[in-house]
Amino acid sequence: MNIKRTDIDALNALLTLTVEKADYQEQVDKLLADYRKTANIPGFRKGHVPASLIRKKYRTPILVEEINKMIQQQLNEYITKEELELLGNPLPKAQEDINWEADDFTFEFELGIAPQFDVDVKGKKTITHYEIKTDDDTLNRQIDRIREQYGKLIAKDTVAEGDQITGVFRNDDEGINSDATFKTDKIKGKTNLKKFVGSKVGDTIELKTKGLFEDDHDLMNFLKVEHDKAHGLDIKVTFEITEVNERELAEMNQEFFDKLFGPGVISSKEELMERLREDAGRQFSQQTDQKLLTDVTEGLIENTKFDLPADFLKRWIANSGENPMTEEEAAAEYERSEKGLRYQLIESKILKTNPDLQLKFEELKDYSRTQIKAQMAQYGHTDATDEEIDGVVARIMQNQEEVKRMSEQLQNEKMLQFFKDNAKLKKKELTYEEFIKEAYES
């Protein structure tokens, strides 16, 4: 088989494969002879069907299958030998009806070539690396929320600020008849709050939904309306108060500490604050790390300039799935996936030029071992032997989905540390509320 490559430009090429009779004849003749031995055709004894009839009946499907096998094998060998970095897979060019009675055949395949480029991780633009501070005020508010959660409800007749109210929202025209429970701190504005404070169980309050709650999503939850309808909803509703409760905070005693962390683990407010500070630090670092990874990724995509064989990729997308797409559908899918493809190429380039970032099997096993020990400790099993842990690790390493999941997780962690060490970062310390506002709401 002869393979000829024609470069159209730096990102597109055409492979022409010529299959000659000598390439396939011996194998096709062998398979036809095997068919003749086993074929069951009415009017003939097994093994005595005329060779001409076998050839007429089976030669074309056998030939097509064998040539397809040869093409796939030769394509893979050629791509490997030439060390071609492709995007997508070779895309066969459409041909008119092929004359399978001919001796020689020619097939053409389009190739999308991966672009050549350099990656500057440091870049020109400084990226903010957030650090969330866990100050005492934040921790005290968290402790109050926990004490409230573990406290008890005291029934009341009259609403006061801070109380928990249960009732029914109604609007017959809109079909609203919804039970809801919320604290008064959910209510927005002094005017609305005054309508609740001083009301009694059994009272019905007339309200306007616009500006009723601090968050419009509360309308969706409390009135049971759709998300899009909740935003900017401006109708009148009534609210019948059916229950009022004051939540008494749990006492900060040993019983309370034991409920949180187990007997004897924590024995004072100071120890509780330190434990919450550590837990918050871990939780916050996960969020700030994810934000950093997102920002660095977007920065690399924006600043690493290279072209893609877009027309080829759209044709490949249109024809690579189980169900072919229209040109419009393929173009839309390409637009959705382009940024992801660009980052895959950038990450691949970083891994290629930084071999230490590439995962090793023993490294993955050690990571799995650490994960298992942490999970066991979380459930109180802190005295597991090395033999027990190694047994769990061995089972995990036989599960392809688990191995894939952990590989992606570990690779992300290594890439994150690489960016922390090499990207142009500036640290910024703020509270959690400030972080959410600046990082996600601005």
Phi, psi of 164 (to 5 degrees): -105, 125
Contact 114, 85 (CB under 8 A): yes
The reply to whether 230 falls in a domain is yes
Contact 276, 139 (CB under 8 A): yes
280 with 413, same domain: the answer is yes
Contact 130, 357 (CB under 8 A): no
Nearest alpha-carbon partner for 230 in 252, 213, 246, 205: 213
pLDDT at 34: 86
292 with 238, same domain: the answer is no
Which DSSP category does 438 fall into? I
The reply to whether 337 falls in a domain is no
Contact 6, 12 (CB under 8 A): no
Residue 283, helix vs strand vs coil: helix
Q: CA 347, CA 172: separation in Å to the nearest integer?
A: 57
Q: Which two tokens stand for residue 281?
A: 């630090």
The reply to whether 92 falls in a domain is yes
The reply to whether 382 falls in a domain is yes
23 with 107, same domain: the answer is yes
Q: CA 360, CA 372: separation in Å to the nearest integer?
A: 19
22 with 99, same domain: the answer is yes
Give DSSP secondary structure letters for 107-129.
Answer: EEEEEEBPPP----SS-SS-EEE
Dihedral angle at the C-alpha atoms of 334, 340, 345, 347, nearest 10 degrees?
Answer: 180
Residue 182, helix vs strand vs coil: strand
43 with 157, same domain: the answer is no
169 contact partners, CB below 8 Å, separation of at least 6: 176, 177, 178, 180, 222, 223, 237, 238, 239
169 with 289, same domain: the answer is no
The reply to whether 128 falls in a domain is no
The reply to whether 346 falls in a domain is no
243 with 373, same domain: the answer is no
The reply to whether 131 falls in a domain is no
288 with 409, same domain: the answer is yes
Count of residues for the chain? 442
pLDDT string in tens for the chain (442-residue length)? 899 999 999 999 999 999 999 999 999 999 988 888 888 888 888 878 888 888 888 899 999 999 999 999 999 999 999 999 999 999 999 888 889 989 999 999 999 999 999 999 998 899 999 998 888 888 898 899 899 889 899 999 999 999 999 999 999 999 999 999 999 999 999 999 999 999 999 999 999 999 999 888 899 999 998 888 888 889 999 999 999 999 899 999 999 999 888 888 899 999 999 999 888 888 889 999 999 999 999 999 999 999 999 999 999 999 988 888 999 999 999 999 999 999 999 999 999 999 999 999 999 999 999 888 888 776 667 677 888 888 888 898 899 999 999 999 999 999 999 999 999 999 999 988 888 888 887 5
158 with 271, same domain: the answer is no
Contact 116, 109 (CB under 8 A): no
The reply to whether 330 falls in a domain is no
pLDDT at 374: 80
Q: CA 75, CA 110: separation in Å to the nearest integer?
A: 12
CATH code, domain with 54: 3.30.70.1050
Q: CA 171, CA 174: separation in Å to the nearest integer?
A: 6
- Structurally, how many domains does the chain consist of? 3
269 with 396, same domain: the answer is yes
Domain boundary at 57, 91, 112, which?
112
Q: Which two tokens stand for residue 38?
A: 């086993």
Domain with 225, as residue range(s), is: 152-248
270 with 223, same domain: the answer is no
The burial of 141, by beta-carbon neighbours within 10 Å (0-12 exposed, 13-18 middle, 19 or more buried), is given as: exposed
CATH code, domain with 210: 3.10.50.30
96 with 25, same domain: the answer is yes
